[in-house]
Structure 1
């Protein structure tokens, strides 16, 4: 952080937030707390990351959106706002800025948590699965891991076939193993026998031919 000239800001952030670190970026110097980049320092100006209501708050104190400051923008830095200089030097205003920084950090943490939870729902993140299978299952309304567990590998396979979609036995075995949280190659002989028996019983009820091979 020594390469950031605003020592007063650094001292306030360090005393109120803890250890702050910086990293040189193409667009300036990124300012991080707990691996969350909440600010960018560029040419003597401090830009704070803010979205939604927080963005409205920082604009209410005269902060300028990155793209209106004459600085080339991209999707990742459009949510940064140039904070008026007196909020870096005036003690009272600096305290207001620190509150906004804490709100920014809360936003970042919430977004990362939401992203983690969303990833946990994605079928493509299961063993054996990919975007191709996720999209195929999505066509029959199975768009989350919990929904796939609810339906089961055999019924999901039959639902896809019932829709007239092109599908091979690989879909069944990949989803069957995925729901056991393992790769197809690691299925035991007993698991293969049980899986084949289950899917063939359901294929028979649905009026489809039996699956001949385990894999």
Structure 2
């Protein structure tokens, strides 16, 4: 891990156990599989949501823009670097609110969110049919299996010549992002997990 990111990771321990994954060209911090912080280019971003968006905007926090080749994605993460570096007294409460919104949003996605496989990011009716023929019946099963195991099931049904972009689509659906935003390190980990 980049030494510039380490201090924030050490600071984040106070908010509970977290996991780190490569996301959007940086590192994502997750609690209960919900990403609440992004560390990219020595900048600290936290996830917005609800009234937190307005609070962050009033504090001068700008949204994160991820530029990748010919596309730019603006995501609901706000730059809090100046608040972190100045040890702003409101920071702990803002991060706790961010974590709560992230976890709640993640839970909402599974309880009220996509009821059909085709409603997941990167998915469509033809992929839903393919997945059902491979034995993946619903969103819950898809999420429980994860991108790698879903891809392997599709390979078992349709053969090993299945396009690798399906693996990217499945990973994007699990992560809740467009497959073109997957980082090379994530793709490499997926390739290894699927022996590709």
Taking structure 2 as the reference length, the TM-score comes to: 0.49
Taking structure 1 as the reference length, the TM-score comes to: 0.45
